[in-house]
Amino acid sequence: MTIGTKAPAAPVALSFDFELDAPPAKVWRALTVPEFVAKWLTARIDGEPAPSDPREGPSSRPAPVSLRLLTAEPGRSVRYLWREEEGSLPPSIVTFRITPSGSGGTRFRVVHETSGRVLTQRRPANHNAPRLLLAA
Amino acid sequence: MSEADIFKALADPTRRAVFERLADGEKNASELRDGLAISQPAMSQHLAVLRSAGLVAEQRSGRHVNYRVEPSGLAALDRWLDRYRSFWPERVEALRRLLKEMDQ
- CATH number of the domain at B48, please: 1.10.10.10
What are the CA-CA distances from residue A91 to residues A17, B18, B63, B97 (Å)? 22, 24, 41, 27
pLDDT tens profile A11-39: 467 899 999 999 999 999 999 999 999 99
CA distance B91 to B23: 32
pLDDT of residue A133: 46
pLDDT tens profile A83-94: 887 776 778 889
**Percent of chain A with pLDDT strictly greater than 70:** 62
pTM listed for this prediction: 0.67
Does B37 contact chain A (CB < 8 Å)?
no
CA distance B1 to chain A (A): 12
Domain count of chain B? Answer: 1
Beta strands in A1-128 (DSSP E): 13-20, 43-45, 65-73, 77-84, 92-100, 106-113
For B5, which residue in chain A has the nearest alpha carbon? A116
| Residue A52, helix vs strand vs coil | coil
Helices (H), A20-91: 24-32, 34-41
Count of CB atoms within 10 A of residue A129's CB?
Answer: 13
Instruction: Kindly state the DSSP code that residue A56 receives in the 8-state scheme.
Output: S
In which domain, by residue range, is B54 found? 3-101
ipTM of the complex: 0.70
Contact A116 B10 (CB under 8 A): yes
The mean per-residue pLDDT over the stretch A108-113 comes to 92
Greater pLDDT, B95 or B20: B95
pLDDT tens profile A62-71: 558 889 999 9
Please name each of the domains of chain A with its CATH number: 13-48+64-124 (3.30.530.20)
Contact B20 A136 (CB under 8 A): no
**CB-closest option in A20, A112, A129 to B88:** A112
